[in-house]
Amino acid sequence: MKVEKKLNTSAENFYDKMMNSVIFDVRKATGKSITRKQLKNFSYIKQFSKNSSAKIVIEELVENRIYQFKTSTSRNEFVVRYEITPIDENKCLVIYNENMKSFGFMQQMNDLLLGIMLGFFRKRQFGKMLENMASAN
């Protein structure tokens, strides 16, 4: 899935909010307080429920420009990439890319069918979430 969205916030402000969210997520999952400089190549296990967890690896960070991470479960592997381009002091373009690789034929078919049925709504919902991030204080 790919979403491009122009936001009414600076690239720096959007990146700051995203990194604060990542650091909060790491602390919640691991109990560790880490800095932005420690994020690149950092990996941790995130527990979603009693029987569901994923390994998250922060693969690429470029200050105010790029954030990429990989989430691996027993069924899928997701690679998510945010590319942030400043337009001017108060606007930026965010390009969100999400690629998924499913393990096993039945999982691939299930994910393909679900992706087709929910893709449009997920894109719309994600665009709104980006706007909410940009406008949050």
Distance between CA 133 and CA 111 in Å, rounded?
27
Q: What pLDDT is recorded for position 112?
A: 57
Distance between CA 39 and CA 26 in Å, rounded?
9
Determine the structural domain holding residue 121 and report its residue range. Answer: 2-135
Percent of the chain at pLDDT exceeding 70: 81
pLDDT digits (tens, 9 = 90+) for 37-92: 999 999 999 988 888 899 999 999 999 999 999 999 888 888 999 999 999 999 99
Joined tokens for residue 73:
């479960």
Q: In what order do the strands lie in the sheet with 91-102?
A: 2-7, 91-102, 76-88, 66-72, 52-62, 43-49
pLDDT digits (tens, 9 = 90+) for 81-116: 999 999 999 999 999 998 877 766 666 656 655 655
Domain count, the chain: 1
Distance between CA 46 and CA 65 in Å, rounded?
25
CATH classification of the domain holding 90: 3.30.530.20
